[in-house]
Amino acid sequence: MNALATFPASRSSTQIKPPGFLSNVCTVGLRELRDAVRSRWFILYTLAFAVLGLAVSFVSAAGAGNAGLSGFGRTAAGLINLVLLVVPLMALSAGAATVASDRERGMLSYVFAQPVTPFEVLLGKYLGLAGSLLACLCLGLGVCAAILAWKGHATQPSSIIWLAALSFLLALAMLSVGVLISVLARKASVAVGTAIFVWLTLVFVTDLGLMAGAMTMRLRIEELFAISLINPLQVFKMWSLHSGEASLDVLGPAGLYAIEEFGSALHAMFSACLGAWIVLPLAAASLILSRKSPL
């Protein structure tokens, strides 16, 4: 069959309708999800997350007798710390690579030459990666919970589901930041390097910075609490503790202040903070991408 037989005389423009917003977002999202799930990082992160989760849970459960995951004991505290380390790294690096690597290989400009808008491409990529992160978290935490239950450690499904949900929100926030980095960077290596630097800053420097700031600048409790709301990792930690059976007073005076001052409004505050971390970097990335050349 020759080319002309397959590609007959051109249609008029009135017969041609571009695909809708949802169609494009789904197409790009499914492609991104498939790529991510097939990639090495997904398998490695899932395995690492599950193995470390199991190790943390067994060590904690051994100390807590048969309490296992029931209640908000050592196990959950261990898992929260694990999530705080692994999930941001996973989400930041996945987000940082997505646009920058496509731009580097010329794929981004080629996709933009199709009937799509930059926002459709960005949202599709974001949702695809979010799907892969959700799968990774569910697999990791799910395997962890299943093995603990099978080994006779009582598990409370609601606490693990709640932890998974909060971890996913944290992943979404970090993914947004990663995507913003990716849109700003010209090279994938620079984007991933920046993402790792951001991860280190959020995980280590902010914690130490808060302590140092509180001591040297004599920050008031309300200022300390307000500053800790800036860091999405701190928000996740406080929300996880607050939503479990543990009390925020484990965090010291700032936690006590938060409970006394805001009480039941804390859930709304935490969700607003993480929501802002999800929406604002993604909106900024979309704005920049639509104004910046994809080349």
Q: Of these, 22, 29, 31, 56, which contacts other proteins (CB under 8 A)? A: 31
Q: Of these, 152, 158, 215, 295, which contacts other proteins (CB under 8 A)? A: 295
Q: For tokens 């909106």, what's the residue?
A: 283
Q: Which of residues 102-131 bind other proteins (CB under 8 A)?
A: 105-107, 109-117
Q: What Å distances lie between residue 241 and 195, 236, 248, 255, 266, CA to CA?
A: 27, 9, 6, 10, 11
CB closer to other proteins out of 118 and 255? 118
Q: How far apart are CA 129 and CA 31, in angstroms?
A: 10
Please choose, out of 7-15, 78-86, 132-140, 245-253, the segment that lies near other proteins by the rule CB under 8 A. Answer: 7-15
Q: How far is the CB of 238 from other proteins (least distance, A)?
A: 40
CB closer to other proteins out of 39 and 243? 39
- Does position 247 interact with other proteins (CB under 8 A)? The reply is no
Composition of the chain by helix, strand, coil, percent to 5: 80, 0, 20
DSSP characters for 215-264? Answer: HHTT--HHHHHHHHTTSHHHHHHHHHHHHSSS-GGGG-HHHHHHHHHHGG
Which pair of tokens denotes residue 74? 């050592």
DSSP characters for 101-138? Answer: HHHHTTHHHHHHTSS--HHHHHHHHHHHHHHHHHHHHH
Please choose, out of 26-34, 63-71, 217-225, 231-239, the segment that lies near other proteins by the rule CB under 8 A. Answer: 26-34
Q: Which of residues 174-203 bind other proteins (CB under 8 A)?
A: none
Please choose, out of 9-17, 82-90, 260-268, 272-280, the segment that lies near other proteins by the rule CB under 8 A. Answer: 9-17
Q: How far is the CB of 103 from other proteins (least distance, A)?
A: 9
Q: By CB under 8 A, how many residues form the interface with other proteins?
A: 41
Contact set with other proteins (CB under 8 A): 1-13, 16-20, 23-24, 27-28, 31, 35, 38, 105-107, 109-117, 291, 293-295
